A and B are shown apart, each in its own frame.
Chain A
């Protein structure tokens, strides 16, 4: 009985890194079609048959193109400005400088996976930074400050979710407004000036101490990436997030509580953004109004560019990390090669547009 055979088949090896199946064995199933069935197949040649896998697919260009681009960038700058680019210090600087952007982007993946934008993360990051500094400046200690900042992020997530889920306001508009309110909040908390008094050296150590040559935030980022990767790939909640993002109506009719999933997603992005703000305060040893705003666009660029990597057409953790370091390497290399200061936003903006264009192409090819 064919059914038995399928049951008794040994479990395929536990999934290798986050990707989906490597298309093994698809040739067999495709060839099971009779010629007649093939003739009536509505999409002849629509199935990707590994027997005829293209060179690009074999090299993983469809899923790992970012890694190739990253390698190419490193090679180019290594030849262009070897004395500056190809140094351990430089790579350490790139890793360290990107830890906060990466954390922010990682948190952003969650709402984007369920089809919602969170444009308030820049403001939340700024508020997290200002709150933790305010607590120290007013003599309340940094531990309480960290808790207050993270609790504030949670609150922002809940309010965003309330506006989007209960008031049915489009997430783009709701969080755009929230972002503006939060940047007003940063001015209010700081009084409009840079605040740097009363900062505990224990607090700045959280953001500045180096272990094995890398600042601590890099390790926090790695831990966060592992947690989110597990959440998105290996928990029912992650599956529900992608289902809601894919087709909210179908998700609802499959018994998924769409409102709850969306709420959870905003809470994650809010909490992560506030925590990233705390890290920023520890790194800078100060806070100032609107400190979070410049982080918003790079985080979005990375998430969308990341959606073209590893699991094409789907925002994911590893793709986002690759994108972050690709963007950072590009910017850093160009700066070292003498590019003017405006190269950073220029490069990020171009990358965002190109990334989304690529992502649209990827999904169109699938649909």
Chain B
């Protein structure tokens, strides 16, 4: 039997190291294949090459023996490859019918779109996937699982050629467990019909529950392709991170117990579910979790940037929800993720970027003293080693790492009681990173309760007294003391339970 999809010696580099290094694999019709690997292991690059989005440096691919013309989206489409990308690729203000038409076009009747029939077909396609919702609602207003179903329905919608391979990039990243199960049933049905299915996942329970076989990529290289049967979770983790999990590494920083500053009980939002935590003065708590685990939302939910359920108190006083100004006045600071969107004022000066918080500190006798602001800001630019060290430069003149330092300075200047940092060293070079870590340590030493949310697990090990691991919106594990190790954290985020690690 010819393989449904064959990839041979595929390589790709983006200005520098190879992100994909001579990867080969093949899929049989009816097979469900899991593609696993750490962030940056090349999974998405491979998929984007197959989708015609990236042109590889070397390599070839065949679909049922027919060579695939690389770098052309239409060619992948014509040979029967179907994709559901990570962001789903839906147009939020169009309804289900229009979104499917974006993939397949409107079959028209004498130059006229027959809307009633189109809607009927769309409803039928969704019903086949086990979904029923109003197909006239814009995609943006649908629930995450409905949007995923719509993206799958679009991928499977009939076209001139038959679909042969369905490729899903982290299809469950945004789905709650029950809805993920519905997607699996769908994937099984697709495979039973004779198509090959390949999916990327960070959830190992999905790999074991759904896939027939698994391909592991590490640092852009193909590690192994083998059947799932006979493989256990520890072995798979080992294959993914490339070495055995050391059971005991070094002790986490011992926490000097002081008063409770931040108390969170029953924190919830669309992706978070009943999260409790207590942070003491001088303590640095880490939060780890994969994308969609609720990791990102913890920061903004606490600070009031998004709606939340549950109680948040600082030194016993309740912080109202959806009031960043109140949270700030009560001594909370937030360095959000995605600096450009959430933190930086790109056309303002460094001085204005820092003094946007606590502006009135230099407001005396009806005048905001720029001179005093400058000397105040100069101290912080010096302390964080921001380059160029001139408070009157525009934010956009700085490199990303320096911009991040400026945002940090904004909050450190206030000496907050609680400091919430989401990806504090995102896009920061090694030297600056260690500076920032030292500053976070110093802030904690001064009695600040610090919460660090990060996908950089080595950073969490370096900084934290304890690390809370989120999985599907809940705290699944707490790592501290002798278990503090970045591989262990990684393992915990993708689903190995504390009992296995003991």
Contacts and interface: CB of A to CB of B under 8 A. Distances in A.
A33 B375 contact: no
B471 to A, nearest CB: 26
A11 B392 contact: no
Contacts of B271: none
Interface string B366-380: 111111101100110
B88 to A, nearest CB: 23
Interface in A1-60: 2-3, 6-7, 9, 11-15, 20-21, 23, 25-26, 29-30, 32-33, 37, 40-43, 46-48
A260 to B, nearest CB: 9
Interface stretch (A147-155, A248-256, A283-291): A248-256
Contact of B343 (A253, A257, A313): A253
B342 A249 contact: yes
Contact of A11 (B341, B375, B390): B375
Given A21-B392, A42-B399, A236-B363, A32 B324 contact: no
Interface stretch (A164-172, A238-246, A322-330): A238-246
Contact of B370 (A6, A15, A255, A367): A15
Given A26-B390, A29-B388, A243 B325 contact: no
A48 B383 CA distance: 23
B368 A234 contact: yes
Given A11-B371, A239-B359, A255 B328 contact: yes
- Chain A interface residue bracket vs B: 35 or more
Interface in B340-391: 341-349, 352, 355-357, 359-360, 363, 366-372, 374-375, 378-379, 382-383, 387-391
Nearest to A246: B345
Nearest to A20: B392
Contacts of B375: 6-7, 9, 11-12
A132 to B, nearest CB: 31
Interface string B244-257: 00000000000000
B393 A47 contact: yes
B410 interface: yes
Contacts of B325: 255-257
A256 to B, nearest CB: 7
Contact of A247 (B345, B357, B366): B345
B368 A250 contact: no
A247 B344 CA distance: 8
B387 A29 contact: yes
A19 to B, nearest CB: 10
Contact of B388 (A11, A30, A234): A30
A25 B352 CA distance: 18
Contacts of B346: 246-247, 366-367
A232 B48 CA distance: 48
B360 A236 contact: yes
A235 interface: yes
Contacts of B447: none
B371 A246 contact: no
Contacts of A366: 346-347, 394, 396-397
B363 A235 contact: yes
B341 A2 contact: no
Interface in A215-265: 230, 233-236, 238-240, 242-243, 246-247, 249-257
B334 interface: yes
B329 A367 contact: no
Interface string A346-367: 0000000000000000010011
Given A43-B399, A254-B357, A254-B410, A13 B371 contact: yes
Contacts of B391: 21
A44 to B, nearest CB: 11
Contacts of B396: 366-367
Given A11-B375, A247-B345, A250-B344, A239 B352 contact: yes
Interface in B419-476: 429
Nearest to B369: A14
B327 interface: yes
Contact of B382 (A2, A33, A234, A255): A2
A161 to B, nearest CB: 18
B400 interface: yes
Contact of A6 (B336, B341, B379, B393): B379
A367 B344 CA distance: 12
Nearest to B355: A239
A314 interface: yes
B303 interface: yes
Given A11-B371, A11-B372, A367-B396, A242 B348 contact: yes
B400 A250 contact: no
A21 B329 CA distance: 30
B389 A32 contact: yes
Nearest to B345: A246
A315 B397 CA distance: 20
B390 A29 contact: yes
A7 B356 CA distance: 20
Which of A14, A40, A250, A255 has the largest count of B CB atoms less than 10 A from its CB? A255
Given A11-B371, A253-B334, A20 B347 contact: no
B344 A15 contact: no
Contacts of A236: 359-360, 363, 368
A240 B357 CA distance: 10
A52 B388 CA distance: 16
Contacts of A313: 347
Contacts of B324: 252-255
B394 A234 contact: no
B305 interface: yes
Given A253-B334, A254-B357, A255-B325, A26 B347 contact: no
Given A41-B399, A252-B324, A255-B324, A234 B367 contact: yes
Contacts of B303: 253
B397 A47 contact: yes
Contacts of A46: 397
A308 B349 CA distance: 17
Interface in B79-109: none
B413 to A, nearest CB: 12
Contacts of B387: 29, 32-33, 37
A81 B432 CA distance: 64
A235 B368 contact: yes
Given A239-B359, A256-B356, A12 B374 contact: yes
B370 A254 contact: no
Contacts of A13: 371
B320 to A, nearest CB: 13
Contacts of A33: 387-388
B389 A9 contact: no
A226 to B, nearest CB: 13
A25 B390 contact: yes
Given A254-B356, A255-B325, A366-B396, A9 B305 contact: no
A251 B352 CA distance: 12
Which of A235, A246, A252 has the largest count of B CB atoms less than 10 A from its CB? A246
The 3 A-B residue pairs whose C-beta atoms are closest, nearest first, are A21-B392, A255-B328, A236-B359
9 contacts: A7-B375, A32-B389, A42-B399, A234-B366, A243-B352, A253-B343, A254-B410, A256-B356, A367-B346
